[in-house]
Amino acid sequence: MSLVLGIESTCDETAASVVQDGTRVLSNVIASQVQLHQVYKGVVPEIASRAHIENILPVLDSALSQAGTTLDQIDAVAVAQRPGLIGSLLIGVTAAKTLAWSLQKPLIGVDHVQAHLYSVRLSAHDRSPREQCPLPAIGLVCSGGHTALYHVRDWTDIVRIGQTIDDAVGEAYDKVAAILNLPYPGGPVIDRLAEQGNPEAIQFPRSYLERTSLDFSFSGLKTSVLYHVRGHPGREKPSNSLTHQQVCDVCASFQQACVDVLMNKIRRALERYPSRSVVIGGGVSANRGLRAQTQSLPVPVYFPEWVYCTDNAAMIAGLGQILMDRGFISDLSMDAMTSGSIPAMTD
């Protein structure tokens, strides 16, 4: 039996988790900062790093006690080391280095985006293990900070095959929510209101880019929602002019446009790369509209359990175990990195 302590602090969640043998989650503690950032309708980096400093030790204590473990029973310390906000990352990375050094245990730097893909393998220790998804797979990470496609040949052999050229899809959800005066984060609330709306009420634009492109673009869609709700520049509509039903229709039509684009790109990727399944992770993978429509894809699709869709440390500890098993151990000179390191496909 092997126990890995995972730490996640890339953005606005301070999280720690103990995972056994790479997939069985013994504890998954998350201190969310949503309330601190809600008033600004987005994450404020300086506020985030201060909150991480306050949260990190209590979160680590809870993760260990909920797992019924002590520090000396831990076999390794894994930490999300990239990509993210530098002030936020540094808190988790410093805590992990300190623990690994003082306990004389291996330190494992984990890529947060890669871990979102791996999250499809996790389940709580008191639930049955998840079915293994067959690899190679097409991976989609869709979150507030990332929207990209990957060819997952193995959990430690992942190449990027497409990415957004402007906004991430979760970011578009958050911005559309702000346009509609809905709370932050926008994804869950738009997902809920979309269920009461008509997805064909408004024909928002879908950006597919060139015919073979696997890249994404969501900024035109977001602007189109802005003009629909507030009016075009010089012809602004009065604020709060939409009825509840109209708001639901905007949510449903916007969501349908996002899902159409994501589905189109997954299908294109499946045509190009040998794949036995599709794995989808990141905050937007919680979206019910997306989950329902992926059922029509020609290969099995794997989503994380709901709790592992958004940022968490269980995915860091789980992938940390796989990396350790394959000898990817970091040393104490490891740095936090703001940008990702999954290489792009060169073909």
Among 93, 49, 105, 48, residue whose Cα is nearest residue 313: 93
Phi, psi of 265 (to 5 degrees): -70, -35
Beta bridge partners of 108: 78
Which of the listed partners (ligand KG4, Zn ion, none) does 191 bind, with a CB threshold of 5 to 8 Å by partner kind?
A: ligand KG4
Structure tokens at 190: 């738009």
Using the rule CB under 6 A, which residue among 59, 286, 334, 336 binds ligand KG4? 286
Q: Please, what's the largest Cα pairwise distance for the chain?
A: 66
311 binds Zn ion (CB under 5 A): yes
Which of the listed partners (ligand KG4, Zn ion, none) does 83 bind, with a CB threshold of 5 to 8 Å by partner kind?
A: none
Nearer residue to Zn ion within complex by CB, 56 or 179: 56
Strand residues in the chain grouped as ranges (E): 3-8, 13-20, 24-32, 76-82, 107-111, 123-124, 137-142, 147-154, 157-163, 277-281, 301-302
CA gyration radius, the chain = 20
Give the count of residues interacting with Zn ion (CB under 5 A).
Answer: 2
Which of the listed partners (Zn ion, ligand KG4, none) does 185 bind, with a CB threshold of 5 to 8 Å by partner kind?
A: ligand KG4
Which of the listed partners (ligand KG4, Zn ion, none) does 174 bind, with a CB threshold of 5 to 8 Å by partner kind?
A: ligand KG4
Nearer residue to Zn ion within complex by CB, 3 or 319: 319
Start-to-end CA distance of the chain, whole Å, equals 41
What whole-number distance in Å separates Cα of residue 176 and Cα of residue 179? Answer: 5
Nearer residue to ligand KG4 within complex by CB, 273 or 303: 303
- Say which residues have a Cβ less than 8 Å from residue 109's Cβ, sequence separation at least 6: 78, 79, 81, 82, 93, 330, 334
For residue 61, CA distances in Å to 57, 65, 114, 153, 173 come to 6, 6, 26, 36, 34
27 binds ligand KG4 (CB under 6 A): no
Which of the listed partners (ligand KG4, Zn ion, none) does 249 bind, with a CB threshold of 5 to 8 Å by partner kind?
A: none
* Residue 249: count of CB within 10 angstroms of its CB: 21
What whole-number distance in Å separates Cα of residue 250 and Cα of residue 226? Answer: 10
312 binds Zn ion (CB under 5 A): no
| Exposure string for 252-270, b = 16+ CB within 10 A, e = fewer | bbbbbbbbebbbebbebbb
Using the rule CB under 6 A, which residue among 83, 109, 139, 187 binds ligand KG4? 187
Which of the listed partners (Zn ion, ligand KG4, none) does 304 bind, with a CB threshold of 5 to 8 Å by partner kind?
A: none
CB of 186 to ligand KG4, least distance (A): 5
340 binds ligand KG4 (CB under 6 A): no
150 binds ligand KG4 (CB under 6 A): no
Site for Zn ion in 142-171 (CB under 5 A): 143
Site for ligand KG4 in 247-276 (CB under 6 A): none
Nearer residue to ligand KG4 within complex by CB, 183 or 298: 183
Can you tell me whether residue 74 is helix, strand or coil? coil
- Of the ranges 58-66, 155-163, 204-212, 279-287, which one interacts with ligand KG4 (CB under 6 A)? 279-287
Residues engaged in binding ligand KG4 (CB under 6 A): 11, 143-145, 170, 173-174, 185-188, 191, 282-284, 286-287, 310-311
Residues that bind Zn ion (CB under 5 A): 143, 311
